Amino acid sequence: MTADTPHPVRVVQLGGLMPFVREWLTERYAAPELADLGGPDRAAGVEVAVVGGGAPAGAAEMDALPDLGAIVNFGVGYDNVDVQEASRRGIVVSNTPDVLTDAVADLAAFLVVDVLRGISAADRFVRSGAWARGEKPPLTRDVRGAVVGVLGLGRIGTAAAQRLEAFGAEVHYHSRSPKDVVWTYHGSPVELAAASDVLVVLTPGGAGTEGLVDAAVLDALGPDGHLVNVARGSVVDEDALVAALEEGRIAGAGLDVFADEPHVPEALLGRDDVVLLPHVGSATVQTREAMGRLVLDNVDAFLERGELVTPVG
C-alpha cells in the first residue's frame, strides 16, 4: 500500500453516537459515518458497524456493507437492529448490558417516588407562585406499603425492584416465567396491573412486546393506579394511555420513553399528573462512558478474534 492509497475502512459509524464515542472510533479505527463512506468501492472490507441513537440497522444498511460481520449497538435495547436478518446473513450483534443497569434502575425507582409523591408537580406548584399565593398542594401517596408491579424482571427490573423494596414498597412482577425470587409472581400483565398501585414497565422493546401495555392493562391498573415506563415507547399503546389519563381511568404516569421520540403527544404536555423525561435512563457521565468503552471492547474483540464480548441472543 502506497502513501497515496487510502487506508482500508474496517469500521463505520451509524446514527446518533455521543461525541466522545465518535472521537474514540475516529482515533482508534478512522471510522467514518456510513453516509460519508464514499461509495460502494469504499464499503468493501467494512467489517463492523457501530450503531447509536436508535438508528435503524436493517436490510438496507446491511446491503450497503457487503462484508459486514458485526453490528455493535450503543445501548442495552437493540430493537432498532434487525437481528433476525443479521443472523440470516451471518452477522453477529452486540449491545451494552449491565453497565447501565444501575442508572436505569435508579431512574425507574425515582419515577415511582415522583408519581406517588408528586415531586415534579410540587416543583411546578412553587415556581408558578401558587404556594406564595396561599394555595395548598394536594396530598400525595406513600411509597411505603404501595404495591409496585414490575413488568419484566430482567437485570434492570430486578435492580429496580430491590431499590423500591428499600423504600418499603411491596414488589410484584410478571416475566415470561417465574423467577427464583421472594416477590409475588403474576401470570399476565393484566393480572399484575390489577394487583399494582404502580406498574413499572421494564421489558425489552421489539415486535414481541409492542403494545403489551394496552387498554386492558391500563383498565386493570385502575383510577388510583400509575404507570411508569423506562423501557421502550413501543411497549405501551400511547393512544390508549392518553385516553386513560384524559378519562381518569388511571391516576397518572411517569414516562422516560415515547412511541415517536423526540415527539411527545401534545395531550400530555400540560398534565400535572404526568412526569415527562427525555429518554435519560442511562444518561449519566459514568454510565455513558462505560457503555462507550464496552462498544470499543466489542469492536476490538471482533476485529482481533472474530467474536463479541456481549453478543445478543
Task: Name the amino acid, one letter, at 2.
Answer: T
Residue 58 located in a structural domain = yes
Q: What is the pLDDT of residues 166-177, one digit of tens each?
A: 999 999 999 999
Provide the pairing of β-strand 147-151 with 226-229.
unpaired
Distance CA 252, CA 221 (A): 11
> Is 128 a domain residue?
yes
Residues in the chain: 313
More confident residue, 207 or 189: 189
Q: What is the pLDDT of residues 268-277, one digit of tens each?
A: 999 999 999 9
Claim to verify: residue 149 and residue 76 sit in the same structural domain: no
207-261 pLDDT tens trace: 899 999 999 999 999 999 999 999 999 999 999 999 999 999 999 999 999 999 9
Q: Are residues 187 and 241 in the same domain?
A: yes
**Residues 6+ away with beta carbon under 8 Å from 4:** none
Structural domain for 49, as ranges: 11-97+285-305
Cα–Cα distance between 85 and 138 in angstroms, integer? 52
Interatomic CA distance for residues 20 and 285, integer angstroms: 11
Told to judge if 232 belongs to the known catalytic residues of this protein, a careful annotator would answer yes
- The whole-chain average pLDDT of the chain stands at 95
Cα separation values, 115 from 2, 133, 175, Å: 63, 24, 23
Q: Is residue 135 part of a domain?
A: yes
For residue 6, tell me if it sits in a domain: no
What separation in angstroms does the CA of 103 have from each of 32, 95, 96, 283? Answer: 30, 16, 13, 8
- Residues 177, 57, single domain; the answer is no
Quickly tell me which residue has 398542594 as its cell. 137
In this structure, the answer to whether residues 51 and 33 fall within a common structural domain is yes
Is the domain of 105 the same as that of 230? yes
Burial of 181 (0-12, 13-18, 19+ CB in 10 A): middle
Q: Residue 226's beta-bridge partner residues? A: 198, 252
Residue 233 is classified by DSSP as G
| Residue 126 and residue 254 share a domain | yes
Radius of gyration over alpha carbons of the chain, in Å? 22
Asked about 261 being catalytic, the answer comes back as yes
User: Does 269 lie in the same domain as 120?
Assistant: yes
- Of the candidates 10, 279, 289, 293, the residue annotated as catalytic is 279
Distance in angstroms between the alpha carbons of the first and the last residue of the chain? 39
- Residue 278 corresponds to which cell in the numbers above? 427525555
Question: What value does the mean pLDDT take over residues 278-291?
Answer: 96
pLDDT for position 7: 60
What pLDDT, in 10s, does the model give residues 127-171? 999 999 999 999 999 999 999 999 999 999 999 999 999 999 999
Query: Are 88 and 39 in a shared domain?
Result: yes
Does some domain include residue 250?
Answer: yes
2: in domain: no
Residue 202: pLDDT over 50:
yes
Please report the pLDDT score of residue 2 as a whole number: 37
Same domain, 32 and 158: no
Give CA torsion, residues 91, 95, 97, 100, to 10 deg: 180
4 in a structural domain? no
Which candidate, 204, 213, 281, places its Cα nearest to that of 250? 213
Is 125 in the same domain as 77?
no
Catalytic residue status for 174: no
Tell me: do 91 and 142 sit in the same domain.
no
| CATH (domain of 180) | 3.40.50.720
Q: Which pLDDT band, with edges at 50, 70 and 90, does 198 fall under?
A: very high
Cell numbers found for residue 70: 458485526
pLDDT for the residue numbered 39 = 74
pTM above 0.85, yes or no: yes
Which pLDDT value is given to residue 54?
87
Look up residue 192 and give its three cell numbers.
399484575
- Residue 1: per-residue pLDDT: 37
Residue 311 domain flag: no
Percentage of the chain beyond pLDDT 90 is 92
Grid-cell match 447509536, residue found = 52
Which one of the listed residues 261, 266, 271, 305 is annotated catalytic?
261
My answer on whether 263 and 297 are in the same domain is no
Q: Which of 174, 232, 238, 288 is catalytic?
A: 232
Distance separating alpha carbons of residues 23 and 10, to the nearest angstrom: 16
Q: How many domains does the chain divide into?
A: 2
